[in-house]
Amino acid sequence: MKNIAVIGAGTMGNGIAHTFAQFGYKVQLIDISEASLKRGMDTITKNLDRMVAKEKITEEDKQNTLDNLYTTTSIAKGVEYAGLVVEAATENVDLKLNIFRELDEVCPDDTILATNTSSISITQIGAVTSRPDQVIGMHFMNPVPVMKLVEIIRGYNTSDEVTNTIMELSKKLNKIPVEVNDYPGFVANRILMPMINESIETLYNGVAGVYEIDTVMKLGMAHPMGPLQLADFIGLDVCLSILEVMYEGFKNPKYAPCPLLVNMVRAGKLGVKSGEGFYDYSENRKAEVVSKQFA
């Protein structure tokens, strides 16, 4: 399996493509627009330059990685020779189901179809294809080239052979794969998102401010980043989507999104990607706490 296709050139998609290409795989990076592909490739180049500057890779390694990357706006063209497709599109159920319907039609019969979803049912995604035994979750962590964990999620119909293949492939990327079963949020987000949501509730209820909440978790719990800052980096819209999936899946009020989170997403305050969330990321502010009262 030397030919990989990655669908989506955003933060996760370009990170996944970068990682496969760095380890010698030929990668087709697919997105709906040339502009998105250019941004994705620019990000990969900048990240490789940073690795060269830190002497983690050589200039030759960087060039070899870039030489392994190809881009296209055509799914059919991009997956023509793929042994594995990794979907990393927006965390939207209908979008993902439509992508997998198309992949099932245009991919070779033996192609494994993986999704980087952080919460959506692998079983549900597999059910819209004629190959549910070849559909699996491959949930990378952000930033992909740095983070070691890959959460491997097997759907109800995912075969042992496919699961073992993806586990071994992850190890070849110098990652540590952990196999989990297909329930809303899997393991990572089933634990992480309620913590982030409770942190937002704590702010919403006026218990403490943004800086104070994040400082308690960093200094008291040895977290490298506070939960509110982490939510900004994940994207508040993504956090909301994951919580909604878990709330719908479990029908348990403990997963209900905090009203403050809902309102911030409605207002377009999505975190780093929009320039403001719980912190201000504009150039002149450099991630200062937003001064307005949230409660």
Chain segment 119-156, per-residue pLDDT in tens: 999 999 999 999 999 999 999 999 999 999 999 999 99
Residue 275 in marked binding region: no
Of 146, 181, 216, the residue that ends a domain is 181
Beta bridge partners of 85: 5, 113
pLDDT-derived band of residue 286, with 50, 70 and 90 as boundaries?
low
In this predicted model, which residue has the larger pLDDT, 284 or 198? 198
Residue 32 lies in a domain: yes
Q: CA of 51: how far to CAs of 54, 60, 71, 176, 288, in Å?
A: 5, 12, 22, 21, 27
At residue 93's C-alpha, the angle toward residues 89 and 98, to 5°, is 70
pLDDT the model gives residue 282: 86
Residues 231 and 86 both lie in one domain: no
Which string of b and e fits 129-168 if b means at least 16 CB within 10 Å?
bebbbbbbbbbbbeebbeeeebbbbbbebbbeebbebbbe
Q: Name every residue whose Cβ is closer than 8 Å to that of residue 276 and which is 6 or more positions away in sequence.
A: 269, 282, 290
Tell me: do 87 and 160 sit in the same domain: yes
pLDDT tops 60 at residue 294: no
pLDDT over 80 at 192, yes or no: yes
Query: Under DSSP, is residue 101 helix (H, G, I), strand (E, B) or coil?
Result: helix
* 149 and 275, same domain (yes or no): no
The 10s digit of each residue's pLDDT in 65-118 is 999 999 999 999 999 999 999 999 998 999 999 999 999 999 999 999 999 999
195-246 tens-digit pLDDT: 999 999 999 999 999 999 999 999 999 999 999 999 999 999 999 999 999 9
Is 43 within a domain?
Answer: yes
Helices H / strands E in the chain, number of each:
13, 10
Does residue 24 belong to any structural domain of this protein?
A: yes
Q: Is residue 222 part of a domain?
A: yes
Shared domain for 77 and 162, answered yes or no, is: yes
Domain-located, residue 75: yes
Please provide residue 253's backbone torsions phi and psi, each rounded to the nearest 5 degrees.
Answer: -60, -15
In degrees and rounded to multiples of 5, residue 138 shows phi and psi of -135, 80
Looking at the fold, whether 202 and 147 belong to one and the same domain comes out as no
Element (H, E) at 49: helix 34-53
* Catalytically annotated residues: 118, 139, 151, 189
Asked if residues 154 and 128 have their Cβ atoms less than 8 Å apart, the reply is no
Tell me: do 173 and 132 sit in the same domain: yes
Does residue 73 belong to any structural domain of this protein?
A: yes
Flag whether pLDDT at 292 surpasses 60. no
* 94 and 17 both lie in a single domain: yes
Flag whether 118 is marked binding. Answer: yes
Report field, pTM of the whole predicted structure over 0.85: yes
Query: Are residues 161 and 229 located together in one domain of the fold?
Result: no
Q: Which of 181, 212, 243 is the C-terminal boundary of a domain?
A: 181
**Do residue 31 and residue 176 come from a single domain?**
yes
d(CA 98, CA 50): 36
Q: Is pLDDT at 46 greater than 60 in this prediction?
A: yes
Q: What is the pLDDT of residues 163-181, one digit of tens each?
A: 999 999 999 999 999 999 9
Quote the CA–CA distance of 284 and 139 in Å, as a whole number: 34
295 located within any domain: no
Work out the pLDDT band at 290, boundaries 50, 70, 90: confident
% of the chain with per-residue pLDDT over 70 = 97
| Domain, as residue range, for 11 | 3-181
Q: How confident is the model at residue 295 (pLDDT cuts 50, 70, 90)?
A: very low
CATH of the domain at 50: 3.40.50.720
- Tell whether 56 is in a known binding site: no
Q: What is the mean pLDDT of residues 257-263?
A: 98
Residues 6+ apart with CB under 8 A from 270: 235, 236, 237, 264, 277
Do 25 and 137 belong to one domain? Answer: yes
pLDDT tens per residue, range 31-41: 999 999 999 99
Asked if the structure places residue 108 within a domain, the reply is: yes
**How far apart (Å, rounded) are the C-alpha atoms in residues 2 and 169?**
10
Domain at 199, CATH number: 1.10.1040.10
Give the span between the Cα atoms of 125 and 100, in whole angstroms.
Answer: 7
In DSSP notation, 153-165 reads EE-TT--HHHHHH
Specify whether 223 is located in the same domain as 177: no
Share of the chain above pLDDT 90, in %: 94
Least Cα distance to 150 among 126, 179, 193 occurs for 179
Q: Tell me: pLDDT of 287 over 70.
A: no
Final residue of a structural domain among 150, 181, 212: 181
Q: How many domains are contained in the chain? A: 2
Whether residues 207 and 274 fall in one domain? yes
> Residue 1 annotated as binding?
no
At 285, list the tokens: 């502010």
Residue 64 CB partners (closer than 8 Å, separation 6+): 24
